[in-house]
C-alpha cells in the first residue's frame, strides 16, 4: 500500500515541503487528479454533484484560476477532502500562486489533509513527472502484493462513516482492479454498477442485462465491440439464500485471474458482515467463521486485519439459539459489552445462527470457574432462550472446530440431562454424547433402563437418585435441601435404591451404569414432553 509518506520519498518529489496535515501522512494513495477549474460557480457545483467518492487520490494544482481567491482555494480543499482525497500538491509557488495563505494551511490541518508544496520559483517541475512517478509506485506495489483484501478493508474502515457505503466500496474495488464492478440482487436485477474507466458507462450499460442473462452459469463471457472485446466474469458466490448477491467484473481486453475474483468476493462479503446494516452488522463474524472452519489462510488475513492473536484464544462460549434461526444483534452488543469487561482479548461474532465468543481465559481452572459462576449469577437469566456452553483448554483451532460441532450435535441432549445447569461445560456435552449413542442402540437402552426398572414404581426413589447423581454431584446435603427433606431421608432412600437395583450410588464402579440409566431416562422423558 502506497501512502502519502511513500510519495514524499519519490525522486520527482525531491525538495517538496509538507506545510500542513501531518496527521494524514499514513493515508493510502491510489490515484492522482489534476485540479483545473476552481471557481465557485454553478458549473463547479454541478461537477461535484455528479461526482461520487473517487478513492484516495492526491490533487495536483497550482490554483491557476483562483490564485488570488483564498476562500475558493479553501472551498475546493473541503470539497475534494469530502470525496476522499488525501492531499494537495501545490506547484509553481511564486510563479502562478503568489504564496500559500495561512487560512489554507489552517483548513488542511483541520481536515488532516496533507498539503505539499513543490520547490518555489522553479519552472522545470512538471505535473507529468510526479503523476508518472506516483502511478509507477502504485503499479509496483499492486504487482508485489497478491492479497489486496486486507489493504482495501483497512482503507475502507478509515473513511468517514458517511462515506462507508456500497458505492464507495465498489468504486474502491473497481479502481484497484481497473475493472468495472456489477452487483446484482437475488432477483438478478442490477443493484449497483461502477464503471472503469467511467467513459465506458454508456457502452457497458447498453446490453449489460442481456449479457448477464446470457451467462446462464458460465463463469466468463466474451463481449465483442467494434474496436476490441471485453470479458464479463462471475465472482464466486457471496451470500447464499434469499438475500444473496452476485458480483461480476467487466474488464476491457483482459481476463481477471481467479484469485482476483475470489478476493473481490471476500472484500464485498466482509463489508456486508461488518458495516452493512441491511445484511446484518455482524462484527468480526468472518474471523469467527474462519476459526471454526479451521481455515488458516482466511484466519491469518482476518486476524491481521482485526489485530487479534488467534493463538491466545483458548476458550469458546457458544450460545445455541433454541427458537430462532436469525442472528440477534441486541445479544451481540450485550455480550460484547459484558465479555469485553472480563477478558483482555475477546472476539464476538456469529457462526450461522449461533453466537460464538472466543476469549483469552485464565490458566487456572479455579479462575475460569469463577468467571462462569459470575456469569450465571449476573446474566444467565437473560439467556433462557439459549443453550450456553463454555469450552476451556482449546490449544488449537482444530480443538475449537471439534468442540463447536460437538456442541451442535449434543448440546440439546446435555440440556435435557442437566436442565438446571445454566452453563454447560465440555464434560457435560461429552457425557451427553455417550448417553445419546447408548440410547440410539435399542439393546443398550433396554439394558440401562432395566437397571432402574424396579425403583420406577417408587417415584421418590427415582427422583432422589436422579437429583443426587445429575443435579447435585453426589452431595447428600444439597440433594436433601433441593428435595426439602432431612439428610437421613436421603441416606435411607439411597440404601433402598441399592437394595432394589443391586447398584450402590456411593460406589464408583456402580455409579457409572446408574448415571447412564437416569440420564437416558431424563432424555426419554424430555422427548415425550
Which pLDDT tens digit goes with each residue over 416-473? 999 999 999 999 999 999 999 999 999 999 999 999 998 988 999 999 999 999 999 9
% the chain with pLDDT above 90: 46
Residue 529's pLDDT is what?
Answer: 64
Angle at 521 between CA 518 and CA 527, to 5 degrees: 145
Q: Is pLDDT larger for residue 387 or for residue 145?
A: 387
Stretch 47-75: mean pLDDT, rounded? 80
* Residues 309/303, Cβ–Cβ less than 8 Å: yes
% the chain with pLDDT above 70: 88
Question: How far apart are alpha carbons 181 and 380 in whole angstroms?
Answer: 47
Whether the pLDDT of residue 326 is over 80: the answer is: no
Q: CA–CA distance from 104 to each of 24, 26, 40, 122, 272 (Å)?
A: 16, 21, 16, 22, 38
Question: How far apart are alpha carbons 450 and 146 in whole angstroms?
Answer: 65
Stretch 48-55: mean pLDDT, rounded? 55
Residue 282's pLDDT is what?
Answer: 39
All 3 cell numbers of residue 319?
450460545
Residue 240's pLDDT is what?
Answer: 46
Task: Walk me through the domains of the chain, giving residue ranges and CATH numbers.
Answer: 4-144 (3.40.1390.20), 163-275 (3.30.450), 285-432 (3.30.70), 441-528 (1.10.10.2840)
Least confident of 78-87, 236-245, 483-492: 236-245
- Which class for 422: exposed (0-12), middle (13-18), buried (19 or more C-beta within 10 A)? middle
The neighbouring-strand residues paired with 386 are 321
Question: How far apart are alpha carbons 372 and 369 in whole angstroms?
Answer: 5
Cβ neighbours for 345, distance < 8 A, ≥ 6 positions apart? 308, 309, 312, 313, 359, 360
Stretch 397-408: mean pLDDT, rounded? 94
Whether the pLDDT of residue 285 is over 80: the answer is: no
Q: Is pLDDT larger for residue 207 or for residue 417?
A: 417
All 3 cell numbers of residue 290?
474462519
HEC string of 192-218 equals: EEECCCHHHHHHHHHHHHHHHHHHCCC
Whether the pLDDT of residue 329 is over 60: the answer is: yes
Residue 54's pLDDT is what?
Answer: 59
Residue 278's pLDDT is what?
Answer: 41
Least confident of 53-57, 95-99, 199-203: 53-57
Whether the pLDDT of residue 64 is over 70: the answer is: yes
Q: CA–CA distance from 241 to each of 186, 187, 216, 245, 300 (Å)?
A: 8, 11, 18, 9, 27
Least confident of 12-16, 266-270, 401-405, 448-452: 266-270
Stretch 307-326: mean pLDDT, rounded? 85
Of the pLDDT bands very low, low, confident and very high (cuts 50, 70, 90), residue 277 is: very low
Q: Where are the alpha helices (DSSP H) in 216-350?
A: 258-274, 285-292, 296-306, 329-340
Whether the pLDDT of residue 336 is over 90: the answer is: no
Which range in 338-352, 371-385, 427-441, 515-529 is most confidently predicted, on average pLDDT? 427-441
Question: How far apart are alpha carbons 184 and 162 in whole angstroms?
Answer: 23
Residue 496's pLDDT is what?
Answer: 94
Least confident of 57-61, 84-88, 122-126, 215-219: 215-219
Dihedral sign from CA coordinates of 472, 473, 477, 483? positive
> How confident is the prediction for the chain on average, in pLDDT?
85
Whether the pLDDT of residue 224 is over 60: the answer is: yes
Query: How far is residue 514 CA from its own chain's centroid?
Result: 46
Sheet of strand 315-321, all strands in order from the earlier edge strand to the far edge:
346-351, 354-359, 315-321, 386-391
Residue 145's pLDDT is what?
Answer: 57
Residue 225's pLDDT is what?
Answer: 74
All 3 cell numbers of residue 67?
490564485
Question: How far apart are alpha carbons 149 and 126 in whole angstroms?
Answer: 34
Of the pLDDT bands very low, low, confident and very high (cuts 50, 70, 90), residue 279 is: very low
Helix and strand totals (H; E) in the chain:
20, 14
Of the pLDDT bands very low, low, confident and very high (cuts 50, 70, 90), residue 283 is: very low
Residue 306's pLDDT is what?
Answer: 65
Crossing angle of helices 426-440 and 508-528, rounded to 10°: 70
Count of residues for the chain? Answer: 529
Q: CA–CA distance from 27 to each of 30, 58, 113, 132, 365 (Å)?
A: 10, 10, 9, 20, 45
Residue 328's pLDDT is what?
Answer: 73
Q: CA–CA distance from 364 to each of 315, 393, 437 (Å)?
A: 12, 10, 32
pLDDT in tens, 136-192: 988 888 776 556 777 787 777 767 666 777 778 888 888 888 899 998 876 677 778
pLDDT in tens, 65-78: 899 999 999 999 98
Cβ neighbours for 364, distance < 8 A, ≥ 6 positions apart? none
Instruction: Identify the DSSP state of 189.
Output: -
Residue 281's pLDDT is what?
Answer: 37
Residue 453's pLDDT is what?
Answer: 92
* Residues 53/82, Cβ–Cβ less than 8 Å: no
Whether the pLDDT of residue 477 is over 50: the answer is: yes
Instruction: Identify the DSSP state of 277.
Output: G
Question: How far apart are alpha carbons 429 and 388 in whole angstroms?
Answer: 11
Amino acid at each position: 500500500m502506497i501512502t502519502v509518506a511513500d510519495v514524499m520519498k519519490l525522486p520527482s518529489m525531491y525538495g517538496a515541503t509538507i506545510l500542513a496535515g501531518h496527521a494524514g501522512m499514513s493515508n493510502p494513495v491510489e490515484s492522482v487528479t489534476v485540479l483545473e477549474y476552481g471557481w465557485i460557480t454553478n458549473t463547479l457545483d454541478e461537477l461535484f454533484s455528479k461526482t461520487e467518492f473517487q478513492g484516495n487520490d492526491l490533487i495536483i494544482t497550482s490554483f491557476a484560476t483562483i490564485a488570488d481567491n483564498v476562500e475558493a482555494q479553501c472551498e475546493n480543499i473541503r470539497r475534494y477532502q469530502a470525496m476522499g482525497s488525501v492531499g494537495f500538491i501545490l506547484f509553481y509557488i511564486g510563479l502562478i500562486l503568489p504564496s500559500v495563505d495561512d487560512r489554507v494551511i489552517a483548513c488542511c490541518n483541520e481536515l488532516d489533509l496533507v498539503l505539499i508544496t513543490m520547490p518555489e520559483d522553479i519552472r522545470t517541475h512538471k505535473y507529468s513527472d510526479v503523476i508518472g512517478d506516483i502511478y509507477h509506485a502504485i503499479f509496483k506495489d499492486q504487482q508485489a502484493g497478491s492479497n489486496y483484501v486486507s489493504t482495501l478493508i483497512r482503507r475502507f474502515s478509515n473513511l468517514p462513516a458517511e462515506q462507508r457505503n456500497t458505492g464507495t466500496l465498489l468504486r474502491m474495488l473497481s479502481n484497484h482492479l481497473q475493472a468495472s464492478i456489477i452487483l446484482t440482487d437475488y432477483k438478478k436485477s442490477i443493484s449497483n454498477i461502477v464503471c472503469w474507466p467511467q467513459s465506458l458507462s454508456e457502452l457497458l450499460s447498453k446490453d449489460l442485462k442481456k449479457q448477464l442473462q446470457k451467462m446462464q452459469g458460465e463463469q466468463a463471457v466474451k463481449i465483442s465491440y467494434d474496436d476490441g472485446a471485453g470479458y464479463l466474469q462471475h465472482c464466486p458466490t457471496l451470500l447464499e439464500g434469499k438475500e444473496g448477491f452476485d458480483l461480476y467484473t467487466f474488464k476491457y481486453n483482459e481476463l481477471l485471474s481467479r484469485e482476483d475474483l475470489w478476493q473481490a468476493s471476500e472484500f464485498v462479503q466482509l463489508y456486508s458482515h461488518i458495516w452493512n446494516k441491511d445484511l446484518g452488522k455482524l462484527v468480526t463474524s468472518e474471523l469467527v467463521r474462519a476459526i471454526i472452519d479451521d481455515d488458516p489462510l482466511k484466519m491469518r488475513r482476518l486476524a491481521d486485519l482485526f489485530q487479534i492473536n488467534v493463538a491466545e484464544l483458548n476458550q469458546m462460549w457458544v450460545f445455541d439459539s433454541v427458537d430462532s434461526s436469525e442472528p440477534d444483534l441486541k445479544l451481540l452488543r450485550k455480550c460484547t459489552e459484558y465479555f469485553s469487561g472480563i477478558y483482555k482479548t475477546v472476539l464476538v461474532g456469529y457462526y450461522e445462527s449461533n453466537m460464538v465468543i472466543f476469549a483469552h481465559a485464565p490458566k487456572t481452572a479455579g479462575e475460569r470457574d469463577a468467571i462462569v459462576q459470575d456469569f450465571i449469577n449476573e446474566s444467565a437469566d437473560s439467556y433462557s432462550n439459549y443453550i450456553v456452553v463454555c469450552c476451556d483448554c482449546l490449544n488449537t483451532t482444530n480443538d475449537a472446530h471439534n468442540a463447536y460441532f460437538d456442541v451442535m450435535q449434543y448440546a440439546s441432549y446435555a440440556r435435557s440431562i442437566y436442565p438446571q445447569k445454566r452453563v454447560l461445560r465440555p464434560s457435560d456435552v461429552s457425557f451427553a454424547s455417550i448417553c445419546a449413542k447408548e440410547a440410539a442402540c435399542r439393546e443398550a437402552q433396554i439394558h440401562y433402563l432395566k437397571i432402574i426398572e424396579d425403583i420406577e414404581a417408587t417415584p421418590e426413589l427415582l427422583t432422589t437418585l436422579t437429583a443426587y447423581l445429575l443435579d447435585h454431584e453426589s452431595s447428600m446435603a444439597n440433594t436433601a435441601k433441593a428435595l426439602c427433606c432431612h439428610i437421613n431421608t436421603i441416606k435411607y432412600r439411597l440404601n433402598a435404591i441399592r437394595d432394589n437395583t443391586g447398584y450402590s450410588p456411593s460406589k464408583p464402579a456402580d455409579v457409572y451404569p446408574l448415571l447412564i440409566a437416569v440420564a437416558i431416562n431424563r432424555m426419554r422423558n424430555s422427548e415425550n414432553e
